[in-house]
Amino acid sequence: MKIFITAIFALCFISSVQATEVAVVDFRSALLQSNIGQEAAKEPKQKVAEMDARLKKEQEDLEASANNLKRDELTLSQDEFKKRRAELAETQNKIRAMAANMQRQAKELEQQLIQSLTPKGEAALKSLIEERKLDLVLNRQLSLYATGASDITDELVKRINKDN
């Protein structure tokens, strides 16, 4: 009886001790580094660059206006100086709002890009999971520690490129 109980315990213990294949991946990065991601990102990058150039021009104009006001400060009447300073502050607030709006638009463009690429990336990841017989795949940013061998981001980029 003792041997029988020991055998059952050993079988239960052996079946519970299985190797778990775990990998980490930076899915977003893999999508953006892939060929289809690079191609799809061209238009959003151009839009962001245009918005950035427009913002820089507005900031340069504001700086020039501030320098002009500083230069003319002693020659302007107090009322005119206050008026121009208020206009300058209003312009500065508009530029801040413009910058915030542009950041929001850039983030939305990136989210749309990721969303459009996700199905292809998921298909490539699923095939990689099946091929490597992975039990668990974690987002790289959520893991505290992972060896380089457990990071499959580069493999995922190659698989996306191969499949598309």
User: What is the helix, strand, coil percentage profile of the chain, to 5?
Assistant: 80, 5, 15
Is 15 a residue whose pLDDT tops 70? no
Residue type, 137: V
Give the whole-angstrom CA distance, residue 113 versus residue 45. 11
pLDDT value for 36: 94
Quick one: how far is CA 125 from the chain centroid?
A: 18
Phi/psi class of residue 133: alpha, beta or left (left: φ > 0; alpha: ψ in -120 to 50)?
left
Task: Assess contact for 23 and 151: CB atoms under 8 A.
Answer: yes
Average pLDDT over residues 75-82: 91
Give mean pLDDT, residues 29-58.
Answer: 94
- SS3 (DSSP) at 106: helix
Mean pLDDT within 44-68: 94
AA identity, residue 12: C
pLDDT confidence of residue 146: 82
